[in-house]
Amino acid sequence: MNWRERIVVDPSILVGKPVIKGTRISVEFVVDLLGRGWTTEQILEQYDQLSAADIQACLAYAGDVLKAERVY
């Protein structure tokens, strides 16, 4: 999954938080919903402008960010 095709960062949208391209839905919001137990199907029902690939891109983005994190 190449999340770069679906996730964008624009300082004029949500103060530069990463969002799903063409929406104002942040990666943080989608990952939070998943963490609270929402299924992909539930998210897609409530946010019909999203696709399953968008949700997968959010997880791939979060994974890459966490891999890059360094604790000293």
pLDDT digits (tens, 9 = 90+) for 1-27: 799 999 999 999 999 999 999 999 999
CA 58 – CA 31 distance, rounded (Å): 7
pLDDT at 69: 87
Query: How many domains are there within the chain?
Result: 1
Owning domain of residue 34: 3-68
Residue bearing tokens 């939070």:
32
CATH number for position 57: 1.10.10.10
**How do residues 20-71 score in pLDDT, each as one tens digit?**
999 999 999 999 999 999 999 999 999 999 999 999 999 999 999 999 988 8
pLDDT digits (tens, 9 = 90+) for 40-54: 999 999 999 999 999
- String of DSSP letters for the chain: --GGGTEEE-TTSGGG-EEETTSS-BHHHHHHHHHTT--HHHHHHH-TT--HHHHHHHHHHHHHHHHH----
